[in-house]
Structure 1
Amino acid sequence: MKKPDVPIFAPGHVPPSETAPTVASGDRGAIRIGIGGWIFPEWRGPFYPPKLVQRRELEYASRVLSTIEINGTYYNTPSPASVEKWHDETPEHFVFAVKGPKTVSEMRTLAYAGAQIERFLSSGITRLGDKLGPINWQFPPWHAFEAQDFGAFLKLLPSSADGLRLRHAVEIRHASFACEAFAELAREHGVAVVLGADSTYPQIHLQTADFMYVRAMGTQIDEPTGYAPDKLDQWAGRIRAWANGTGSDLPLLDGKADGKPRDAFFYVISGAKVRNPLAAQALIERLGGAPRLQETAELF
C-alpha cells in the first residue's frame, strides 16, 4: 500500500496513523463511525485544517474516522483508478461503505436488476479489497413494498465477488416496509436494514444480519458537535449495545432480538452537514476511540 506523505496534521492535531480508529474489543462486534463523503468546503476549519490541500482530505479524514460512506457511487460508477486511489490513501483497517447505483434501486421491477448489479460489481469497486464494507441499496420514497419482487431482488445480491465477502444493506423510505414479511425476507437473505435515524423517513429497527447500519440525519447547527451531549450519550449506548449483543432501548419492529454481538456501522449524514464530522468524532471518543480534533482556534 502506498505510504502517505507526512506531515499532514497541524500541531495539536491527532497524529498520523497507519491504522484507522476502529473501536472493538473481545468477542464484541467492531464499531465503525464516520460520515458521508469527504469533500465539503464548509468542513475546512471546523474539521480540516485550513491549509490542508484538497487532494489530501481523504488521507486526513480516514485517520480520525474509521469509515466513510461513498455517496457518489449512487450517481456514477467510479473508475478503477479512482477506487485504487481511495484504497491507497487510507490506512489499514479503514472501511468504506458504498452506495449501490440508483439505476438498480429506482427500477420499477427489481427482479430484472441482475445485469445492473453485476455491472456495478464488475466495474472495479472490488479493488477496495478488504476496505470494502457494506453496500447500501437506497430506495426512493415512492418505492412501496411488494414481497415477491423485493424477495427476487434480495436473491440477486451475491454473497461474494472477486474473492471478497459482500455485505448488503437496504435503505427503505416507504412506510409499507414496516411489516413482518419484509423483516423475514431481510433475515432470510442476511441483509441488514438501514436505520434512517432522526429523520422523517420510517425508522425501522431490525436485527436481520450480522451487522447494523445506521444513518443519523439529525445534527443541528446550534450544537457545537451536531448533537446535544445527552443525545450523543444515547447513541453511544445504543451502538455499544449492538456491538455487545445486549439490546438497545430502541424497540425492534418484529421483537426478535437474538442477543448476538454485531458489527456496527454508524454514519452521521445530512442534517447540519457542517457539524457531522464533529458528531462522528464525539461518538468515537465516547466509545473509547481516538480523541476528537482540537477546536478550530487551535488549528494553524
Structure 2
Amino acid sequence: MQIPFPYFTGCPAWSNRNWIGRVFRTGTETSELLREYSRVFNTVEGNTLFYALPPMATVERWMAETAVHFRFAPKFPKVISHERRLQGAGEENKAFFRVLEALADGNKLGLSFLQLPPSFNINHLDTLSAYLKSLPKSFSYAVEPRHISWYDKADNEKRLDDLLETLNIDKAIFDTRPLFASDPDNKDEEEARERKPQMPIRKVGLSNHPVIRFVGKDNPNKNKKYLREWASVINKWILEGKKPYFFAHSGDDDFAPFVARQFNEKLKKINPAVPSLSEFEIDRIKPEQESEQLDLF
C-alpha cells in the first residue's frame, strides 16, 4: 500500500498463517507475518489488546516491523469495558494508555475503539459520558454500542450522538448484513452467525475517523450491494476531509483480505484517485496455475 492512501483499511488480525501463499508472499515465516501484513494494509484492529496487554518490548517490536504509514487501532481491554463496565478501572486504564502513548510516540497509533457490552444500554449513558470525558484528549476514539436501546431513531440515539460529536468521538458501525442476508455457505459462516450481532446501520460520521466493521461472505457476489453502499458513503467522508476506517471480516477471517480488496475496488470505481491495495501473492500466479479463487475477482 502506497502513500498517500485516503482511508485506513485492514483486517481483525495480522497473524493468519492461512494467508501465506494467498495474500502474503510464499515462504513468509511466522516471525514475518506483521511485516508482510503492513506491506498490504495500513491498519489492523488491535483485538489482542481486548484480551491482554502486550509487554512494552512487544509494542516496540510491532512498531519496528510495520511500514511508516501503518497505524494500529487498539481495542479497549475487556477488563475495562466488560468486566469493570467503565467504572473503577483506574489501574487498567493507566496500563492501557501507556501502550497508546508508546504507539503515539512511535507515530503508529491510529484510532482506539471502545466496544460496549451487549447489556450496556441507554440507562448507562451517564456512566459512558463520565468515562469518555475522562479520556486523554490527544487520542482519537470510536464507540461501538451493542444494545438496541442506543438505536431508537429518537431521543436515546440523539443523546448518544450529541455526546460523541461534542467530544469528537466517532461511532463504530458493525455491519453484519451480508452474513444474515442468505443461508450460510459453510460451517465458518454458520458459527459466525451465532457469535456476531445484527445491529442497526447508521451511515453517520460524527468526527474525523468514522469506523466501519464489515462482515462479508466468502462469496463476493453476496457482498457487492453492501460494499457499493459503503463505497459511496466512505467516498463522501473522504471528500469532506475525514479519514475513515474500513475493517473487513469474514466467517473465520480467512477471506477477510479479499473482502477488503473487493471494497477497495468498489471505492476506486467511484474515486479513481484511490490507489489499489498492494499486490496479493495470488496475483503472482501464472495463468495456467490460476484457481477458482482467482476467478471470483
Moved more, 140-149 or 43-52: 43-52
1:152 aligns with 2:150: no
Moved more, 127-136 or 230-239: 230-239
Shift of 1:297: 7.3
User: Which of 258, 282, 290 is the aligned partner of 1:295?
Assistant: 282
Q: Which runs of 5+ in 2 are unaligned?
A: 152-156, 178-197, 269-273, 290-297
Which residue does the alignment assign to 2:54?
78
Shift of 1:58: 1.0
Letter of the 2:7 counterpart: I
Q: Which runs of 5+ in 1 are unaligned?
A: 1-19, 25-29, 161-165, 246-260
Deviations 1:127-173 (A, max 9, x none): 2221100111111212112221111111121113xxxxx11111111
1:34 aligns to what SS in structure 2? strand
In the TM superposition, 1:262-277 aligns within 5 A as 262-277=242-257
1:21 aligns with 2:2: yes
Which residue does the alignment assign to 2:235?
240
Distance 1:137 1:169, change over 3 A: same
- Count residues in correspondence: 252
1:63 aligns to what SS in structure 2? helix
In the TM superposition, 1:162-241 aligns within 5 A as 166-178=139-151, 179-199=157-177, 200-217=198-215, 219-223=216-220, 228-241=223-236
Shift of 1:207: 2.7
Separation (CA, whole Å) in 2 of partners of 1:239 and 1:156: 30
Are 1:110 and 1:149, in contact at CA under 8 Å, matched by a contact in 2? yes
Are 1:157 and 1:168, in contact at CA under 8 Å, matched by a contact in 2? no
Distance 1:21 1:175, change over 3 A: farther
User: Which of 33, 55, 58 is the aligned partner of 2:31?
Assistant: 55
1:110 aligns to what SS in structure 2? coil
Separation (CA, whole Å) in 2 of partners of 1:70 and 1:233: 26
Letter of the 1:150 counterpart: L
Separation (CA, whole Å) in 2 of partners of 1:204 and 1:33: 19
User: Which of 130, 133, 136 is the aligned partner of 2:110?
Assistant: 133
Shift of 1:176: 1.2
In the TM superposition, 1:7-18 aligns within 5 A as none
1:96 aligns to what SS in structure 2? strand
Shift of 1:33: 0.9
Separation (CA, whole Å) in 2 of partners of 1:173 and 1:201: 7
Separation (CA, whole Å) in 2 of partners of 1:234 and 1:207: 15
Q: TM-score normalised to the size of structure 1?
A: 0.76
Deviations 1:45-64 (A, max 9, x none): 32223421111111111011
User: What is the identity percentage for the equivalent residue pairs of Structure 1 and Structure 2?
Assistant: 26
